[in-house]
Amino acid sequence: MSAQAPVKRVTVPQIMQAKGATPLVALTAYTAPMAALVDAHADIILVGDSLGMVVHGMTSTVGVTLEMMILHGKAVMRGSQRAMVVIDMPFGSYEESPEQAFRNAARVMAETGCGAVKLEGGSRMAPTIRFLVDRGIPVMAHVGLTPQSTNVMGGFKTQGRDQSSWPAHLTDARAVAEAGAFSVVVEGVMEALADRMTETVVIPTIGIGASARCDGQILVLDDMLGLSGRVPRFVRKFGDLGSRADEAIADYAAAVRDRSFPAEAQVYR
Ligand code: KIV
């Protein structure tokens, strides 16, 4: 009996080599079946802390815990074979000190087997990113609109509308790249600022609400499938599964009520 060689997952060097070459495809997933669907097409699956809002009905990502990320991270690892799985560090699990970040990131990596972690913040998080990378933890950074800081930012606001803020945003992008992050999510920034970031940093930029010229794109899966309610302007609905699911559930309810379900094919005689 010959053992089947496991499929090799996308690696950090492969992601880095994509800079300026092939656009990187990234999507979120939070469960094993969705991860299996995404795995067939994406380079990166992000277990985003957006799961707090998308799956758990929270009003922000602030209440998401490390345990939730690990639970969903394990499910996504089980459902996928090829894509690199990146798991978000939730609010409060890494900001206190590089040591706290290492302790929690190491737990996420060890318990899930994921390929990397993501954390939010630019220059202020650079020493933490350096600390993690030097100790063997690949880090995807996240700059621009950082949802864990919306209480400070005053909401989900597009960044860089005022050009005087651009130097600070560019410094953030440079700082995370120089600290050793292997890629950086650029969220909710003006297109021209995203382009400047992509030109400035040596690592791939992965845009969301940013620019088509980023080195890759990411969307929240449920948003692009039409499973979420109101979505931001930058989301394109590539499917309308919400309406399809609504129709199917209505059909089921009607069939139960008029006793046409279960029919002959669905019962054991
Ligand atoms: O939590 C998340 O899903 C994210 C993406 C939107 C980039 O951080």
The protein residue with its alpha carbon nearest to ligand 1, atom 8, reads 48
Q: Whose CA is nearest to atom 1 of ligand 1?
A: 48
- 178 tagged catalytic: no
- Position 1 scores a pLDDT of 55
Ligand 1, CB cutoff 6 Å, lining residues: 28, 46, 48-50, 88, 185, 187, 208, 218, 220
Are 209 and 231 a contacting pair, CB within 8 Å? Answer: no
What is the residue-averaged pLDDT of the chain?
96
pLDDT given at position 7? 81
| Segment 167-188 mean pLDDT | 98
Percent of the chain with pLDDT over 70: 99
Other C-beta atoms closer than 10 Å to the C-beta of 262 total: 11
pLDDT of residue 230: 86
In total, the chain counts a number of residues equal to: 269
The domain spans of the chain are 12-238, 242-269
Taking the C-alpha atoms of residue 197 and residue 177, their distance in angstroms, rounded to an integer, is 11
Q: How confident is the model at residue 2 (pLDDT cuts 50, 70, 90)?
A: low
6 CA from centroid of ligand 1 (Å): 28
Over residues 238-251, the pLDDT tens digits come to 999 999 999 999 99
* Whole-structure pTM value: 0.96
Residues of the chain with pLDDT > 90, as a percent, come to 94
Res. 172: pLDDT tops 70:
yes
Give me the pLDDT at residue 12, please: 98
Q: Looking at 187, 199, 247, 264, which residue is catalytic? A: 187
Helix (H, G, I), strand (E, B) or coil at 57: coil
Tell me the best of 118, 186, 220, 227 to mutate to test the pocket of ligand 1, counting ligand atoms within 8 Å of each CB and taking the most: 220
150 — pLDDT class (breaks 50, 70, 90): confident
In this structure, are residues 93 and 66 in contact, taking their beta carbons and an 8 Å threshold?
yes
Mean per-residue pLDDT, 139-146 = 98
> pLDDT tens for residues 105-132?
999 999 999 999 999 999 999 999 999 9
> pLDDT at position 155, please?
84
- Which tens digits make up the pLDDT trace of 3-59? 777 789 999 999 999 999 999 999 999 999 999 999 999 999 999 999 999 999 999
C-alpha of residue 79 to centroid of ligand 1, in Å: 19
Tell whether the model's pLDDT for residue 208 goes beyond 90.
Answer: yes
∠ Cα 167 22 216 (to 5°):
45
Out of 2.30.130.10, 3.20.20.60, 3.40.50.720, 3.40.50.2300, select the CATH number for domain 12-238: 3.20.20.60
CA distances from 175 to 3, 12, 171, 262 (A): 45, 19, 6, 61
CA torsion sign for 176, 181, 186, 191 is positive
Ligand 1 mean position to 221 CA, how many Å? 10
